[in-house]
């Protein structure tokens, strides 16, 4: 489960930010996790709770925002929503797609004290 190592990296970022921005507690973390990122949100929730125990983020609320994935189709020159990395273009059926959004994994927002 690579979500545990992702949570450890997120905690490292929180600790670095706490040192540079002078806060001691994280109350809320808002993550953006794209459907094409390869990250399972529920596993991330579990890992976050485990990894943050006893840290500055212990008990922090974790909100996960899952944006829609989109891709540009070179065949019909459109951008459309897709569900899976290998979906055909919903407009023309072509597979000449370039992923535009949906691979994100980032911290969008923090509430700290």
Asked if residue 102 lies in contact with residue 3, where contact means CB atoms within 8 angstroms, the answer is: no
Task: Say if residue 30 carries a ligand binding annotation.
Answer: no
- Both structure tokens of 26: 């994280």
Strand ranges for 1-113 from DSSP E:
26-33, 61-65, 69-73, 78-82, 97-101, 105-112
Task: Say if residue 92 carries a ligand binding annotation.
Answer: yes
Task: Say if residue 7 carries a ligand binding annotation.
Answer: no
> Which residues define the annotated binding site for Ni(2+)?
2
> Which residues define the annotated binding site?
2, 73, 76, 89, 92
> Which residues define the annotated binding site for Zn(2+)?
73, 76, 89, 92
């Amino acid at each position: 489960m690579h979500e545990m190592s992702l949570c450890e990296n997120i905690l490292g970022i929180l600790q670095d930010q706490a040192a540079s921005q002078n806060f001691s507690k994280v109350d809320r973390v808002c993550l953006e996790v794209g459907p094409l990122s390869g990250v399972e949100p529920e596993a991330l929730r579990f890992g976050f709770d485990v990894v943050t125990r006893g840290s500055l983020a212990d008990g922090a609320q974790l909100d996960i925002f899952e944006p829609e994935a989109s891709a540009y189709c070179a065949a019909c020159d459109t951008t459309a929503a897709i569900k899976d990395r290998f979906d055909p273009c919903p407009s023309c059926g072509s597979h000449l797609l370039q992923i535009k959004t949906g691979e994100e994994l980032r911290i969008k927002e923090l509430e700290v004290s």
